[in-house]
Amino acid sequence: MTTEEEAVRRAWQEWHQQRLDVVRAPYGPLSVTGTHWLAGADAEGRLADVPGRWFPSGDGVRVHADILEGLVHRGEPLVGGVLLVPDADDPAATRLAHGERRWELLRREGEWAVRVHDPDAAARRAFSGVRTTPFDPRWALRGTFRPYGERRTVRVANADGRERGLELAGSVEFVLPGGGSAGLRVSSVGSGALWAVFADATSGGTSCRFRFLRTGVPAGDGGVTVDFNRSTLPPCAFSDHFLCPFPPPGNTLGVPVPAGERDVA
């Protein structure tokens, strides 16, 4: 093994350990115990098993509570009301605490929900690891990003049984280890990196029914590394309360991809 190959393998091992740390963190995906849609609140803004009263208000949500309900905002007891407005630079802007639990807002297609994180969740206590294929350099592929002229939105099923829009920025094309061209339709995240939801011939068998794959920012000529060793389980593999999108049309590879995270151990 060359020095470069050793460095690549070591980088993957560090990534894998960091990934496990994120998964089992106190407020990581294993801690999610509920997602409550504000559309289901009663006339007083109350949700089952959720303290306070919750009301959509413009670009945010107004929450009312009294001292006995035990909600805390930015370290101070919430008495009266507060408007929670999403701020990309300040995640705490839409968080409330209730003992060790954390309540945070999310929005999908104009609908608000409050998600509950509990460090003492049964799934987190029972977690024993993620089945992951050892690093295989053959599955770190060179790809080419081909952006669409304009972004497209397709409707896809989500893990909660609803259908939602998935915005796509283009496709990434690559050659599989055994030969043969393939590609994935990808979304673009804020940094310019790419993200795909995909399935393959192992999905639902020796691996989860679908997985996520993230890349770096494409080079000026569209070149990008498509490293299936870094494919990950979707959050809904760790908790039933996530909304993960299923693969869009065209993102089911007809070959096995024996690389990356496989399933929860």
Model confidence pLDDT, tens digit, residues 80-139? 999 999 998 999 999 999 999 999 999 999 999 999 999 999 999 999 999 999 999 999
> Per the domain annotation, does 164 fall within a domain?
yes
Which residue, among 240, 241, 234, has the nearest Cα to 263 in the 3D structure? 234
**H runs (alpha helix) in the chain:** 3-23, 122-126
Answer with the one of 125, 142, 175 that is the final residue of a domain. Answer: 125
Let me know whether 153 and 229 are in one domain: yes
**Tens of pLDDT along 138-161?**
999 999 999 998 989 999 999 999
pLDDT, position 4 = 84
Q: pTM for the complete prediction? A: 0.93
Taking alpha carbons only, the member of 237, 238, 230 closest to residue 260 is 230
**Nearest of 247, 239, 114, 265 to residue 187 by alpha carbon:** 247
Phi, then psi, of 126 in degrees rounded to 5 = -90, -10
In a domain, 11, yes or no: no
Contact 213, 184 (CB under 8 A): yes
In a domain, 159, yes or no: yes
Q: How confident is the model at residue 256 (pLDDT cuts 50, 70, 90)?
A: very high
Within this chain, do residues 183 and 242 fall inside the same structural domain, yes or no? yes
- Residue 2 in any domain: the answer is no
Whether residue 44 is found in the same domain as residue 166: no
One domain for residues 162 and 35: no
Q: What is the mean pLDDT of residues 196-225?
A: 97
Contact 209, 263 (CB under 8 A): no
Same domain? For 180 and 241 the reply is yes
12 DSSP assignment: H
Instruction: Looking at the structure, tell me whether residues 164 and 92 fall in a common domain.
Output: no
Which tens digit of pLDDT belongs to each residue from 225-235? 999 999 999 99
Q: Are 262 and 54 in contact (CB under 8 A)?
A: no
Q: Are 176 and 198 in contact (CB under 8 A)?
A: no
Domain that holds residue 58: 29-125
pLDDT at position 96 is 97
Task: Give the residue from 125, 151, 186 where a domain finishes.
Answer: 125
- Based on the structure, what is the number of domains in the chain? 2
Residues 4-61 have pLDDT tens digits of 888 989 999 999 999 999 999 999 999 999 999 999 999 999 999 999 999 999 999 9
At residue 2, the pLDDT reads 79
Whether residue 253 has pLDDT greater than 70: yes
Residue 75 falls within a domain, yes or no? yes
Encoded amino acid at 64, one letter: H
Say whether both 114 and 217 belong to one domain: no
Q: Which of 81, 101, 125 is the last residue of a domain?
A: 125
| pLDDT number for residue 37 | 97
**194 and 112 within one domain:** no
Say yes or no: 73 and 98 in one domain. Answer: yes
Residue 17 covered by a domain = no
For residue 1, pLDDT beyond 80: no
Cβ contacts of 52 within 8 Å, gap of 6 or more: 46, 63, 64, 65, 69, 71, 78, 96
